[in-house]
Amino acid sequence: MASQDSFYQYLRNRGVSRRDFIKFCTVMAASLGLDPGATGAIAEALETKRRMPVIWRNFQECTCCTESFIRTQHPKASDIIMTMISLDYHETLMVAAGHQAEEAVAKAIEDNRGNYILAVEGAIPVKDGGIYCCIAGRPAVDVLKEEAKHAKAIIAWGSCAVNGCVQAAKPNPTGAVPVQDIIKDKPIINVPGCPAIAEVMAGVITHVLTFERLPELDSQGRPKVFYGHRIHDKCNRRAYFDAGMFVENFDDQGAKEGWCLYKMGCKGPNTYNSCSNLEWNGGLSYPIKSGHPCIGCSEFGFWDNNGGKSMYNHLSEVPGLKIGVNVDTFGAAAVGAAIAGAAVHAGLSAVTKKQLDKQENEKNCKNKIEG
Amino acid sequence: MAERIVVDPITRIEGHLRVEAKVEGGKIIDAASTGTMIRGIEIIARDRDPRDVWALVQRICGVCTTTHALTSIRAVEDALQIRVPKNAELIRKIMLAVIHIHDHVVHFYHLHAPDWVDVPNALQADPMRTAELAQSISRWPKSTAGYFRDVQDKLKAFVSNGQLGIFANAYWGHPAYKLPPEANLMAVAHYLEALDWQKEIVKIHTVFGGKNPHPNYLVGGMASAINIDGDNAINIERFNLVSKLIDEALEFVLEVYLPDLLAIASFYKDTAAYGGGLGNYLCFGDFSTAPNNDPSGFLLPRGAILNKNLSEVLDVDPRDPQQILEYTDHSWYENSKNGLHPWEGETSLKYTGPKTPYKTLDETGSFDKPYSWVKSPRWKGHAMEVGPLARMLVGYAKKDAPSHAFIKDEIDKALGGLGVGVEALFSTLGRTAARGIESKLCAVWLKQFFNELIANVKAGDQKTFNQEKWEPSTWPKESKGVGLTEAPRGALSHWVHIKDGKVANYQCVVPSTWNASPKDLKGQHGAYEASLLGVPMAKADQPVELLRTIHSFDPCLACAAHIIDTETQQTTKVEILR
């Protein structure tokens, strides 16, 4: 592809200097969690690439992932859409409608066989032949199967596409399932969250674009670069957890001081996501920082993980959680208990990590995209 | 002989919408709108803790994110008789005003503008003359020839390799596009600018709710504690950030959105002649200036207008078991009763449409059988339109509303600028204009709410949460509540029945349910369908005018299609009848 259509050329035409362009690549490398050596690779990719074709399908969802995607600060959504990818189908944003829209997607598939990314936002209802979500007279499940056939890889945006999310919560009236339950023969990047974080979404796309391979995935198909840690691990309130200082009621003195929300039902200790690392909306805040416990929205089945109780009940009462300490016995001054608590957490991290490592090989062998 | 057309998917909306229409003599003579997706959120809300439900139902919609959460906590607080602290009320009002502005701006530029703006035609524009045009309508500092030239270059680069992306296979060059190239270029520039700007205003949600989309709410108040002497709560730095974002929002609305809207509208006065539809308008009202969300203080007043009669605003009482009833004659449900008040719901899904893949939902074209997952709510038997136009009209007509003078003044100014009368509001163009006018009101009020919040904190009140009825042991054995909100797309209501500490029944009557509803028992069209009657179609296979009118409502179909669940066993039946 001639380089006059490249992102770099576009920037140069806009009067951006080479130096500023490299600076931009460095920022992007940092935001992707890469070492500074990756700057060159990013620069090269942006200097030579034709826009990657992306077909973005919306099924059973609330469009929060599209809304999140357009919130990305670096790179900006307008730059992604105008200069990095060719968004050949996206119901929320595309101009054409009806048969013109359907023709556009057919043409995009025809022109880019084996070379496009299929991005899926939403769950897929399979009950009763899939009639609970139809587009142009066809059930979502048929659309997905057909368009996955010639895709290079699939990105499952958000918890709906990754684990079914709200429509799959009990009793799942429409038989909603995630992408990975239907498509078994394609690499799938799972990007959970309700919605997924904007810069994570942009990061996944630019990672694929830049390095021409999928990011390394964990056992659940999530990019390690964004889902490698629990929110708890990097929480700005973590010191208070370790010290045994907890908010006991909303707006109490502990809440005003920003103490740990564990007793308010915080799911940070068993939720893998970048909220406490990247934070939301340009690194501004995340739920815990703004005073509300994490509801675990990127974890499988999170709507039903509270053992039939309120999400404001803390984790020790939730069956199956391996934190072997009852925080009710913690006091703000109970130093011994606090140290024990911290040690148990360290142990849990190690155990969880071991389990993940064990299962990972299976997924990782799918990582390399065949060109 | 009428020609039958199908538009599915209707793009640039939220969710999945299909329209089938008949075109004769260059005009639409009949139309059926269909919601083609359903998730069953109400069923899922059952048996859950009422304090948790806001999070679940918030996921009805990620575009008007927050409105369902707010409405849910209002419903639960109504059922449990919880009073929330003044700061929490103000923060909620700030967050609601923010989503109105955000949603309206994104709708105008990214969902609606391509109905008015011929994007490739912007390549023909003279950047110098574009700058003159832009400078003549606003003081926006970016409006220079160099800036518009850059945008044009960017657009050139974009189209030059043939990858048109979201602009592919569209209707460019259609005779319904009337803007000169310079206006098209200005609009394209602001399309990109609005895309960058919209991510800023939502940061107000991030401050108080931790993230956007889907910020956090709390039954009994807000979780974001205020501590002006603490470094881990809402303090002066956070207030400064919010203040800056509010000022920027006001500026964007006043200097970009409104001038663009009025400039574009001046080329499209012909669209003031069609698309009016029902002429019946309903508002629940919102933004109370009185304590405890009292309707008498609503800045967006409550009321109904029938048959475009602006001399009379009728009283609305959502709790009256006779006023709001939902019908399912043309929806895929099997109910033993019809015309139920939302507290009395009963439903089982029963799809009776054609086998997939289908080309039409009704071979006969009569649409006298069920054809949608959306139900038909009616107010005193009338099909009603809800949304910004309904709100502006009720505010315009309701002389004793606290904000009447402000609303009337802004509407008169806009109409005067266009040289049209008040009757122009009953149209496709009127609906689009009302949304812009409302954005200005919301931006002004947003600043007002913020100033009130600061004043209240300054006076020594830092409370954001009322603990009194947090524990389920303090709740009555059984109670019912309703939450009423004016969401960006119109009147929204959630109805909750709490029993033994759990949700026994939950129902939502959503703006797009009113607007997108299929025909009712009497054969009365819903608002979308009615608005399409008489819409001209220059080319039946290129539905620009149809899309323009449908988009003027800002459809949200994930919201619209929903289920009322019964106290009995929920069932699903599928019969392929046709």
- Residues A75-116 pLDDT 10s: 999 999 999 999 999 999 999 999 999 999 999 999 999 999
Out of B36, B63, B199, whose CB is closest to A63?
Answer: B63
Compute the average pLDDT of residues B552-572. 66
**The model's pTM:** 0.90
pLDDT value of residue A70 = 97
- In chain B, domain spans: 3-571
Out of A83, A127, A131, whose CB is closest to B356?
Answer: A131
- Whether residues B211 and A127 touch (CB distance < 8 A) is answered with no
Whole-angstrom distance, CA of residue B483 vs CA of residue B492: 8
CA atoms within 13 A on the CB side of B160: 17
Contacts of B541 in chain A (CB under 8 A): 99
- Whether residues A291 and B226 touch (CB distance < 8 A) is answered with no
- Residue carrying structure tokens 């790179």: A75
> In the predicted model, is pLDDT for residue A13 greater than 80?
no
> In the predicted model, is pLDDT for residue A325 greater than 70?
no
Whole-angstrom distance, CA of residue B371 vs CA of residue B349: 13
> In the predicted model, is pLDDT for residue A322 greater than 60?
no
- Whether residues A290 and B38 touch (CB distance < 8 A) is answered with no
Q: To 5 degrees, how large is the angle CA B132–CA B133–CA B135?
A: 65
Residue B405 pLDDT class (50, 70, 90 cuts)? very high
Compute the average pLDDT of residues A12-16. 72
Compute the average pLDDT of residues B448-467. 98
> In the predicted model, is pLDDT for residue B495 greater than 80?
yes
Tell me if residue B319 falls in helix, strand or coil: coil
A/B interface, count of CB pairs below 8 Å:
334
Structure confidence by residue, pLDDT tens digits, B88-139: 999 999 999 999 999 999 999 999 999 999 999 999 999 999 999 999 999 9
A27 or B444, greater pLDDT: B444
A88-97 burial, b for 16+ CB within 10 Å, e for fewer?
bbbbbbbbbb
**Among all residues of B, which ones are annotated catalytic?**
14, 61, 64, 68, 489, 512, 556, 559
Q: Are strands A85-90 and A52-58 parallel, antiparallel or unpaired?
A: parallel
Compute the average pLDDT of residues A199-227. 95
> In the predicted model, is pLDDT for residue B177 greater than 60?
yes
Which of A46, A48, A59, A67 should we substitute to test contact with B (largest number of B Cβ atoms within 10 Å)? A67
Which of A84, A92, A290 should we substitute to test contact with B (largest number of B Cβ atoms within 10 Å)? A290
Q: What is the mean pLDDT of chain B?
A: 94
Binding-site residues of B? 42, 61, 64, 556, 559, 562
B438 or A352, greater pLDDT: B438
Out of B110, B169, B230, whose CB is closest to A258?
Answer: B230
Q: Round the CA-based radius of gyration of chain A to a whole number and report it.
A: 22
Compute the average pLDDT of residues A307-317. 81
Residue A364 pLDDT class (50, 70, 90 cuts)? very low
Compute the average pLDDT of residues A278-306. 96
pLDDT value of residue A17 = 81
- Whether residues B169 and A61 touch (CB distance < 8 A) is answered with no
Whole-angstrom distance, CA of residue A345 vs CA of residue B365: 65
Query: Which secondary structure element, helix H or strand E, spans residue B7, and what is its range?
Result: strand B3-7
Residue A28 pLDDT class (50, 70, 90 cuts)? low
DSSP B358: -
Compute the average pLDDT of residues A312-316. 79
pLDDT value of residue B373 = 93
CATH number attached to the domain at B3-571: 1.10.645.10
Q: To 5 degrees, how large is the angle CA B511–CA B516–CA B519?
A: 125
- Chain A nearest-CA residue for B149: A14
CB atoms within 10 A of CB B459: 9
Structure confidence by residue, pLDDT tens digits, B363-387: 999 999 999 999 999 999 999 999 9
- pLDDT > 70 fraction of chain A, expressed in percent and rounded: 77
Out of B8, B227, B547, whose CB is closest to A137?
Answer: B8
Task: List domains and CATH numbers for chain A.
Answer: 1-50 (no CATH), 52-211 (3.40.50.700), 229-343 (4.10.480.10)
Compute the average pLDDT of residues A44-69. 88
Residue A50 pLDDT class (50, 70, 90 cuts)? confident
CB atoms within 10 A of CB A256: 21
A338 Cβ contact partners less than 8 Å away, ≥ 6 residues apart = A242, A243, A244, A330
Q: Residue B352: is it exposed, middle or buried by C-beta count within 10 angstroms (0-12/13-18/19+)?
A: middle
pLDDT value of residue A18 = 80
> In the predicted model, is pLDDT for residue A319 greater than 60?
no
Contacts of A104 in chain B (CB under 8 A): 168-169
Compute the average pLDDT of residues A228-257. 94
Residue B299 pLDDT class (50, 70, 90 cuts)? very high
- Residue carrying structure tokens 């029993």: B499
- Chain A nearest-CA residue for B572: A173
Residues A54, A116 contacting (CB under 8 angstroms): yes
Out of B55, B62, B218, whose CB is closest to A63?
Answer: B62
Q: How far away is chain A from the Cα of B115, in angstroms, using its nearest Cα?
A: 8
Whole-angstrom distance, CA of residue B157 vs CA of residue A106: 24
- Whether residues A166 and B59 touch (CB distance < 8 A) is answered with yes
- Chain A nearest-CA residue for B220: A250
pLDDT value of residue A266 = 95
B350 or A135, greater pLDDT: A135
- pLDDT > 70 fraction of chain B, expressed in percent and rounded: 96
Structure confidence by residue, pLDDT tens digits, B322-345: 999 999 999 998 766 678 888 876
> In the predicted model, is pLDDT for residue B437 greater than 70?
yes
Q: In one letter, which amino acid is A84?
A: M
The Cα-based distances of A39 to A9, A49, A197, A369, B283 in angstroms read 17, 16, 23, 22, 54
> In the predicted model, is pLDDT for residue A45 greater than 90?
no
pLDDT value of residue A46 = 65
Q: How far away is chain A from the Cα of B413, in angstroms, using its nearest Cα?
A: 32
Structure confidence by residue, pLDDT tens digits, B235-284: 999 999 999 999 999 999 999 999 999 999 999 999 999 999 999 999 99
Residues B75, B503 contacting (CB under 8 angstroms): no
Q: In one letter, which amino acid is B317?
A: D
- Whether residues A10 and B154 touch (CB distance < 8 A) is answered with yes
Ranking B64-78, B482-496, B550-564 by mean pLDDT, the lowest is B550-564
Question: Residue A68 phi/psi, 5° resolution?
Answer: -65, -45
Compute the average pLDDT of residues B301-315. 98
**Residue B334 is encoded by which pair of tokens?**
């099997």
Residue A331 pLDDT class (50, 70, 90 cuts)? very low
pLDDT value of residue A326 = 36
Q: Round the CA-based radius of gyration of chain B to a whole number and report it.
A: 24
- Whether residues B59 and A282 touch (CB distance < 8 A) is answered with no
pLDDT value of residue B219 = 98
Ranking A357-366, B352-361, B516-525, B532-541 by mean pLDDT, the lowest is A357-366
